[in-house]
Amino acid sequence: MPMTFPPGFVWGAATAAYQVEGAVHEGGRTPSIWDTFCRIPGKVLNGDTGDVATDHYHRRHEDVRLMSDLGLGAYRFSVSWPRVQPTGRGPASQRGLDFYRRLVDDLLAHGIQPVLTLYHWDLPQELESAGGWPERETAHRFADYAHLVGEALGDRVGSWTTLNEPWCSAFLGYASGVHAPGRTDDAAALRAAHHLNLAHGLAARALRAVLPRTARISVVLNPNDVRALTTSPGDLDARRRIDALSTRIFTGPMLRGAYPDDLLADTAGITDWSFVRGGDTDVIKHPLDWLGINYYTPSVVSAATDNRPSPGPSPYPGAQGVAFHQPPGARTAMDWTVDPSGLYDLLMRFAREAPGLPLAVSENGAAYDDKPDGKGAVHDPERVAYLHGHLDAVLRALRDGADVWGYFVWSLLDNFEWAYGYSKRFGIVHVDYGTLARTPKASAWWYRGVVRTGRLPVVG
């Protein structure tokens, strides 16, 4: 079988503002919900914060040179909302925008395509204090913010993403509470999901109004490759319920203009969905130019066989009676099973469900316990194997008809890994958190070889 990617396939890496930028008090930036959450005792491992992160704000030249050395054709980054619009309202901060203008100019000077994400979870704290994503007003504030960024950078950025993984924002932030802002309210989480959907549609409209016709607008989801433990009716129904809450709650309105009937029925005991107003789903179903798919590991579910309470608040409102199981296989440092078939399955699913819509693997990668050896080199054969397996899955999907235009490894740099602090390393570039020195790992050089040749090496 051919192991070569098609001509023009885009190779990139991805990061997020709060995870890499640091400089949280510079340039007029105000606190985000993650700045606040990090300071709640016990919420983030070791009390870590993104105050410094990897200092990308001051080291962007070095980081762009790294990308160029690796031959990357694209860099997917996010804009910090509280850096650009400190209160979440009103005019843009030109000092905040200037950082992104300089970053984009550096990328373009090195022949690297900027792929801009407007929201990667750093809601301005002032908007959360006014109610956050469970409030409809936040969606309108996001559209205003999108307009400001579009006006400032639309002349040099051709690829735009509204939201990154709205499932995490809604359900980890407002249902299970393991992410900022740390609330545990199922009804609020479902409202947040709808208002994130609405924010996507409103922002896409705002961007269309100011961007050149050639600009491409997308959203990045983390659809769950959910598998039933057995073919029993109970296990299959558990799979249906989790699929509705993790994937179809977003793809239903975004791609088809309606929430799934089974989702509404499953959650009827929590909310009557009266927060969905007439015309909302028409706004949400704004035409996309491509869809980003983030994938790390599959899920296996069954009907629960006992009535033991869950260990804590669930990120799946209305899914009581569903049990989760660890899939077999090798695991990463996140205790996630390595299974590239899940990526293939998702790509083929969206090729069927959204024919004609180009796809990108907008995040894919793995955390391992990487340490420099005595000579300062970082050998990470597990990550190389992980990337090889998942790139092979992309190749198989391409051969089977999926329209996949690009792949973005997560992540360019080791960085602040949300509630895990600095304990998990996803980067293909090692960061010494004491000195902030960057050292490309073996996986970075391996990836460079794939990027330069467009060919996946044969194993064995």
Residues annotated catalytic, as ranges: 165, 363
Helix (H) / strand (E) element for 209: namely: helix 186-210
Residues in a beta bridge with 117 = 78, 161
d(CA 355, CA 171): 28
Residue-wise burial string across 381-400, b where 16 or more C-beta atoms lie within 10 A, e elsewhere: ebbbbbbbbbbbbbbbbbee
Distance CA 408, CA 108 (A): 17
Cis peptide before 381 (omega within 30 of 0): no
**H or E segment and range at residue 392:** helix 381-399
Q: How many other C-beta atoms are found inside a 10 Å radius of the C-beta of residue 269?
A: 11
- Closest residue by Cα to residue 299 from 333, 337, 332: 337
In this structure, is the dihedral angle defined by the CA atoms of residues 104, 222, 413 and 99, taken in order, positive or negative? Answer: positive
**Tokens at 302, concatenated:** 């069954």
Pairing type for strands 226-228 and 216-221 reads unpaired
Q: Which residues of 305-326 are buried (b: 16+ CB within 10 A; e: fewer)?
A: eeeeeeeebbbbbbbeebbbee
Query: Strand 299-303 to strand 322-325: parallel, antiparallel, or no bridges (unpaired)?
Result: antiparallel
Which tokens sit at 68?
């160029």
| 429, 439 contact by CB (below 8 A) | yes
Smallest CA-to-CA distance from 204 within 251, 147, 267 is with: 147
Q: Check the CA dihedral 116-77-69-358 and report its sign.
A: negative
The CA-to-CA distance between both ends of the chain, in Å, stands at 15
Do the Cβ atoms of 56 and 63 come closer than 8 Å?
Answer: yes
The whole-angstrom separation of Cα 110 and Cα 199 is: 33
Select from 292, 301, 423 the least CA-distant residue to 354: 292
Element (H, E) at 62: helix 60-69
